[in-house]
């Protein structure tokens, strides 16, 4: 194993403010009510997570890439995000985004903050218009992605940290050596968290990481 360390962040509600990549687009395009119905179907077991994503994406077919970017690029960073990533880099941490949100926003935040990787779900375009979705991070997939990364980079599990806010971060928490529930949206996440932060300031995770060593 190397002496490298790693922190895996969820995106929506953790690195950035707001309700999420998907919901921000739905709100602007007026497709939020139909999408809410898809969410209920998923929660009731009528459709899979992948089917939910495909149904939502179908609502956006034909929308121009630039319009999607314009919506997502209005998303604001969480307070302290820049200072947190800079501090982690100085402590020899790799920093990555693993998100069930959209790659367009994940790439923007990765580049803006100078993070190492960003893995999210990729909208597909034909003639610069939405035509589908490449599901790279399903509802249970975050843990598998983190495990693959730490194995490839030969990082010890005890040197990995996960920061998330929703139940699809549970597999991420299980794969990491230390987990932080950041303003959790669902109490089911708390069972798997080593620490909880109820403050919209991402720098609050830094003392916790020192204590986790």
pLDDT, tens digit, for every residue of 68-107? Answer: 999 999 999 999 999 999 999 999 899 999 999 999 999 9
pLDDT of residue 140: 85
Mean pLDDT to the nearest integer, 103-125: 96
Mean pLDDT to the nearest integer, 165-191: 96
* Catalytic entry in 10, 94, 159, 165: 10
Query: Do residues 202 and 182 make contact, with C-beta atoms less than 8 angstroms apart?
Result: yes
Mean pLDDT of the chain: 93
Comma-separated ranges of CATH 3.40.50.1000 domains in the chain: 5-17+76-123+134-212
In CATH, the architecture of 5-17+76-123+134-212 is 3-Layer(aba) Sandwich (3.40)
* Catalytic entry in 3, 12, 169, 199: 12
Tokens coding 187: 């109490």
CATH fold of 21-72? DNA polymerase; domain 1 (1.10.150)
pLDDT of residue 192: 97
Q: Is 201 a catalytic residue?
A: no
Residue 123 pLDDT level (bands cut at 50, 70, 90) = very high
pLDDT of residue 2: 55
Mean pLDDT to the nearest integer, 38-55: 92
Q: What is the pTM of this model?
A: 0.94
Widest CA span in the chain: 50
Q: How many angstroms separate the CA atoms of 137 and 144, rounded? A: 9
Residue 189 pLDDT level (bands cut at 50, 70, 90) = very high
Mean pLDDT to the nearest integer, 134-153: 93
pLDDT of residue 117: 94
Q: Give the DSSP H or E segment for 209.
A: helix 205-212
Q: How many angstroms separate the CA atoms of 112 and 77, rounded? A: 10
Q: How many angstroms separate the CA atoms of 74 and 150, rounded? A: 32
At residue 142, the 3 state secondary structure works out as helix
Query: Do residues 173 and 162 make contact, with C-beta atoms less than 8 angstroms apart?
Result: yes
Comma-separated ranges of CATH 1.10.150 domains in the chain: 21-72
Residue 213 pLDDT level (bands cut at 50, 70, 90) = low
Q: Is 111 a catalytic residue?
A: no
């Amino acid at each position: 194993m190397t002496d490298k360390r790693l922190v895996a962040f969820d995106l929506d509600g953790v690195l950035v403010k707001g309700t999420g990549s998907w919901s921000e687009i739905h709100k602007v395009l007026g497709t939020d009510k139909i999408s809410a119905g898809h969410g209920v179907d998923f929660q009731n077991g009528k459709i899979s997570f992948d089917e939910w994503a495909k149904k939502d994406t179908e609502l956006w077919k034909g929308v121009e890439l630039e319009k999607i970017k314009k919506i997502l690029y209005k998303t604001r960073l969480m307070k302290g995000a820049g200072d947190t990533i800079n501090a982690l880099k100085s402590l020899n941490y790799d920093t990555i985004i693993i998100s069930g949100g959209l790659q367009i926003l994940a790439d923007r935040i990765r580049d803006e903050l100078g993070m190492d990787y960003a893995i999210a779900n990729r909208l597909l375009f034909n003639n610069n218009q939405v035509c589908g979705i490449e599901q790279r991070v399903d509802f249970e997939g975050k843990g598998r992605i983190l495990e693959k990364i730490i194995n490839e980079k030969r990082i010890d599990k005890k040197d990995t940290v996960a920061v998330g806010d929703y139940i699809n971060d549970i597999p991420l928490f299980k794969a990491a050596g230390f987990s932080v529930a950041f303003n959790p949206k669902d109490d089911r996440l708390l069972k798997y968290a080593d620490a909880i932060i109820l403050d919209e300031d991402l720098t609050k995770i830094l003392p916790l990481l020192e204590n986790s060593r």
